[in-house]
């Protein structure tokens, strides 16, 4: 559940950023015949793509950690795992 909640929070932040960054009347910065128009800034798009990739890799790493914990412990309750692994 903690992994899913982290993913939901990450998706929410990305969606919020996309909503704030989107504006009407801006054109895509590609070669065109349009003169004197306002272009959309491509940097926020790159930041969001980077955040998506980093979020996916962190989620994969957390799932691998949970798989290793599940192999060594019969439960995934964090309190029980801490009791079993404390010296």
Residue range 35-69, pLDDT digits in tens = 777 777 778 888 889 999 999 999 999 999 888 88
Q: Which residues of 7-25 are buried (b: 16+ CB within 10 A; e: fewer)?
A: eeebeeebeeeeeeeeeee
- pLDDT of res. 50: 93
Cα dihedral angle (29, 56, 2, 19), rounded to 10 degrees? 10
Helix H or strand E segment including 55: helix 43-72
Provide the number of structural domains found in the chain. 1
- pLDDT of res. 80: 83
Residues of the domain holding 12 = 2-85
32 compared with 53, residue with greater pLDDT? 53
28 compared with 59, residue with greater pLDDT? 59
Q: Which residues of 26-40 are buried (b: 16+ CB within 10 A; e: fewer)?
A: eeeeeeeeeeeeeee
- pLDDT of res. 66: 85
């Amino acid at each position: 559940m903690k992994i899913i909640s982290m993913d939901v929070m990450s998706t929410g932040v990305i969606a919020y950023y996309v909503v704030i960054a989107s504006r009407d009347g801006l054109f895509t910065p590609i070669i065109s015949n349009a003169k004197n128009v306002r272009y959309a800034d491509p940097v926020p798009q790159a930041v969001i793509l980077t955040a998506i990739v980093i979020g996916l890799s962190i989620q994969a790493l957390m799932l691998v950690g949970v798989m290793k914990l599940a192999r060594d412990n019969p439960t995934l309750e964090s309190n029980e795992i801490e009791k079993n692994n404390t010296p």
